[in-house]
């Protein structure tokens, strides 16, 4: 475990949250400032390993084995000249410039680390978002969220358990899966699970036949993918219907129970597996955190330089509310996406030395590179934004390639292109030689 006592000579940059934004920032700042001993860069995260969040629907469906794709924070810190501190942020004292990390317990509930204070000169909050169930009755107790790897693995285990039980009973059974919220997470999960199900039957778990699995996507709005353009939404909707996913529009869920969901219109959808993916908010502890200014969904308001109203505290990614400039001159709220967190991390890396020195820096400008929705290996739809071309719709092989390249780019920043290329080869070999689905 690295030393926690403050390094008096060097400015201490503490980043909380090692996800799509925070881990990129820690890695790049480690290489830029940590390696040259210009600053101590410290990353804190609740987890010991990182999985890129947009892959969680694949973990849930079993098409991705998280043990093959995880990044260990300690190893990453060692290689990239930053320090890793495991722990969950629970408090912030702006006067003393310290954060509080909660005590850490192992899976048996045994305390491993005591609660600790960590001092900072500059703090970057990158703790992401969690599912917002808007307090819907039963949602906490009877639906699965897809915020963490553990939750995705829980969905996968629960789904497999239905198959194992059906197999042991010797009887043919049906399985209902309901997903509340047809945003990117819900749509991608529905498609990924749909494509995983025939593989289970092929592996001999055939008491639940693919035709006896019903996947229902429930959306309160008048169309799916409300954050994306009409054409992408229409294409995705058509594809979902084609593969047999039932899409219910204009249906608000009023209650989740142990055997299904009920909508405000009185409709009941029976389901053994229930997922809530209808909205996001920053974690609740961010609300009123040390008097910092909040916007909707507990997010922290940041200015054009990703600073909160405390000049020593920055925020980025899903937990930040940034009404940023765009190339067109108009301002827009940066959407909660992996690409936004990545762009903000890159911007902050570039300008951190000047921000620390109090030098002027250009404002962060949000650039939308388009959106892609993976409907599993079979189909990806979306659009890309180009300087000259404007918004271009993409589909098929090109869209799939672009979608996969988003993750490979994330890996390339973390590991470099040589290792990323090796990972690509490794993944191809695993795909050719291993089972198509994780079965445990
Ligand atoms: C299934 C799914 C599919 C998605 N698909 C896409 C997609 O295709 N394209 C896209 O652009 N976006 C997608 N997203 C959204 C994208 O994942 C997020 O916008 C992005 O990960 C946000 O990055 P972030 O760095 O803000 O937070 P995250 O990547 O969520 O990282 C937050 C980190 O903070 C840590 N943390 C949280 N609380 C604490 C605490 N109190 N103390 C210490 N550490 C803490 C977490 O462990 C985590 O490591 C998807 C999301 C999901 C769930």
Percent of the chain whose predicted confidence (pLDDT) is above 90 = 76
Sign of CA dihedral 420, 425, 428, 433: negative
Average pLDDT estimate for 145-159: 96
> Confidence band (pLDDT; 50, 70, 90) for 398?
confident
Q: Are strands 213-218 and 246-248 parallel, antiparallel or unpaired?
A: parallel
CA of 340 to the centre of ligand 1 (A): 11
Residues 212 and 299: their CA atoms lie apart, in Å, by 42
Average pLDDT estimate for 40-69: 94
Task: Please give the helix or strand (H or E) that residue 344 lies within, else none.
Answer: helix 338-357
Asked if 179 contacts 219 with a C-beta cutoff of 8 angstroms, the reply is no
Mean pLDDT of the chain: 91
Q: Is the CB of 126 under 6 A from ligand 1?
A: yes
Asked if 410 contacts 24 with a C-beta cutoff of 8 angstroms, the reply is yes
Domains 12-129+282-366 and 139-279 share a fold: yes
CA of 173 to the centre of ligand 1 (A): 36
Q: What is the pLDDT of residues 181-234, one digit of tens each?
A: 999 999 999 999 999 999 999 999 999 999 999 999 999 999 999 988 888 899
Q: What is the CATH number of domain 12-129+282-366?
A: 3.50.50.60
> Confidence band (pLDDT; 50, 70, 90) for 392?
low
Following DSSP, what letter does each residue of 197-220 receive, concatenated? HHHHHHTT--SS-GGGEEEEEE-S
CA of 266 to the centre of ligand 1 (A): 34
Average pLDDT estimate for 379-402: 68
Helix, strand, coil percent values for the chain (each to nearest 5): 35, 25, 35
Asked if 87 contacts 117 with a C-beta cutoff of 8 angstroms, the reply is no
Q: What's the whole-model pTM score? A: 0.93
| Domain residue limits, the chain | 12-129+282-366, 139-279, 370-433
Asked if 317 contacts 19 with a C-beta cutoff of 8 angstroms, the reply is yes
Q: Please give the torsion angle defined by the CA atoms of residues 315, 122, 76 and 299, in that order, rounded to the nearest 10 degrees.
A: -10
Residues 338 and 318: their CA atoms lie apart, in Å, by 8
Ligand 1, from 43, 127, 146, 368: best to mutate by most atoms within 8 Å of Cβ? 127
Average pLDDT estimate for 162-179: 94
Q: For residue 375, give both structure tokens.
A: 């409907």
Q: Whose CA is nearest to atom 35 of ligand 1?
A: 17
CATH of 139-279, one of 3.50.50.60, 3.40.50.1980, 3.30.450.20, 3.40.50.720: 3.50.50.60
> Confidence band (pLDDT; 50, 70, 90) for 305?
very high
Residues 115 and 323: their CA atoms lie apart, in Å, by 35
Asked if 57 contacts 152 with a C-beta cutoff of 8 angstroms, the reply is yes
Q: Is the CB of 380 under 6 A from ligand 1?
A: no
């Amino acid at each position: 475990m690295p030393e926690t006592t403050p390094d008096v000579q060097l400015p201490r940059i503490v980043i909380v949250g090692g996800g799509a934004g925070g881990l990129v920032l820690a890695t790049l700042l480690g290489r830029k400032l940590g390696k040259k001993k210009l600053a101590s860069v410290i990353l804190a995260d609740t987890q010991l390993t990182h999985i890129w969040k947009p892959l969680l629907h694949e973990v849930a469906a079993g098409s991705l084995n998280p043990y093959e794709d995880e990044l260990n924070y300690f190893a990453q810190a060692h290689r990239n000249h930053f320090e890793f501190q495991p722990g969950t942020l629970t408090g912030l004292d702006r006067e003393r410039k310290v954060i509080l990390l909660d005590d850490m317990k192992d899976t048996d509930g045994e305390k491993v680390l005591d609660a600790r204070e960590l001092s900072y000169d500059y703090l970057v909050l990158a703790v992401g978002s969690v599912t917002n169930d808007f307090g819907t009755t039963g949602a906490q107790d009877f639906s699965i969220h897809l915020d963490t790897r553990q939750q995705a693995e829980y969905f996968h285990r629960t789904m497999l358990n239905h198959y194992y039980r059906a197999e042991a009973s010797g009887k043919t059974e049906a399985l209902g899966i309901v997903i509340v919220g047809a945003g990117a997470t819900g749509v991608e999960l529905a498609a990924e699970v749909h494509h995983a199900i025939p593989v289970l039957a092929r592996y001999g778990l055939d008491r639940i036949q693919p035709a006896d699995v019903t996947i229902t996507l429930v959306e309160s709005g008048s169309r799916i993918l409300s954050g994306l353009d009409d054409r992408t939404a229409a294409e995705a909707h058509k594809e979902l219907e084609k593969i047999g996913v039932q899409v219910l529009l204009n249906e608000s869920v009023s209650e989740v129970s142990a055997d299904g969901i009920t909508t405000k219109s009185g409709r009941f959808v029976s389901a053994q597996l229930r997922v809530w993916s209808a909205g996001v908010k920053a974690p609740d502890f961010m609300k009123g955190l040390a008097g910092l200014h909040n916007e909707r969904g507990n997010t922290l308001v940041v200015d054009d330089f990703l600073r909160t109203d405390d000049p020593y505290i920055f925020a980025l990614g899903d937990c930040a509310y940034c009404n940023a400039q765009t190339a067109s001159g108009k301002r827009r709220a940066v959407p909660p996406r992996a690409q936004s967190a990545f762009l903000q991390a890159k911007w902050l890396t570039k300008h951190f030395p000047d921000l620390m020195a109090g030098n002027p820096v250009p404002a962060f400008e949000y650039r939308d590179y388009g959106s892609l929705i993976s409907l599993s290996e079979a189909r990806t739809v979306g659009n890309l934004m180009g300087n000259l071309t404007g918004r271009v719709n993409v589909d098929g092989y090109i869209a799939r390639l672009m979608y996969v390249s988003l993750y490979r780019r994330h890996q390339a920043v973390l590991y470099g292109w040589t290792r990323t290329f090796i990972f690509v080869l490794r993944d191809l070999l695993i795909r050719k030689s291993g089972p198509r689905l994780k079965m445990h």
